[in-house]
Every structure is written in structure tokens, then in C-alpha cells.
Amino acid sequence: MTTDTIEQPQPARSRAVFSQEDFGLIRTAIAHYLKEVQDQPESVKYANLYHRLGRVA
């Protein structure tokens, strides 16, 4: 009995979309935008995003 092994192509390695510097720039932009929307309900989502980006940068 022969067993033929068919090799599946490996998926390409994923590449980072943003650099570490980009995260700092995005965080600064969100901080500025937070001042614009501070009295709106969506400000909570932007505040959470701001803090999450702080852990990355």
C-alpha cells in the first residue's frame, strides 16, 4: 500500500500593518479627538481605544 502525501502550501507570514511609531501617532490623534467628543456617548469607545493603544506603543 502506498501513501501519497500531498503537501499543502503554507500560508504567507502576516506582516505588521502599523509600525510602533504609528501607534504613538494614532494615540495622539485619538487624544485630540477625545476632546472634541467628550460629551458624547461614543467618547467611551475612543477612551478605551486610547488606553489599549497605550499598551501597544
pLDDT given for residue 13 in this prediction: 85
Q: How far is CA 52 from the centre of its chain?
A: 9
Q: How far is CA 54 from CA 27, 37, 48, in A?
A: 7, 19, 10
pLDDT given for residue 4 in this prediction: 67
What is the rounded CA–CA span in Å between residue 13 and residue 51? 28
Model confidence at 8, in pLDDT bands (50, 70, 90)? Answer: confident
What is the rounded CA–CA span in Å between residue 27 and residue 39? 19
pLDDT tens digit sequence for 11-43: 888 888 889 899 999 999 999 999 999 999 999
- Which amino acid does the sequence have at 1? M
